[in-house]
Amino acid sequence: MRTWILLGLLAGVALVAGCATVAKTPEENWATYRQIADLDTREIGDDWNLIWLADRQTRLTKWHVR
């Protein structure tokens, strides 16, 4: 009787818990890394422009130049 109760309890916990994590294959991990690297590469130009705009403006002219 105790074994049936224990098995029923374990089955109930297994059904409630389900899968604890989402499993990814190594190929899916590499695809994620490639997407991140591609996005970082495309943002280099924006970062470079931000660096130049953050620099102090020159006082040689009254017009804003880049």
Tell me the pTM: 0.43
Confidence of residue 59 (pLDDT cuts 50, 70, 90): low
Which pLDDT belongs to residue 27? 93
N- to C-terminal Cα separation, the chain: 83
Residue in the structure block whose two tokens are 């660096």:
51
Residue with more model confidence, 26 or 10: 26
| Phi then psi dihedrals of residue 55, to 5 deg | -70, 155
CA–CA separation, 46 and 49 (whole Å): 5
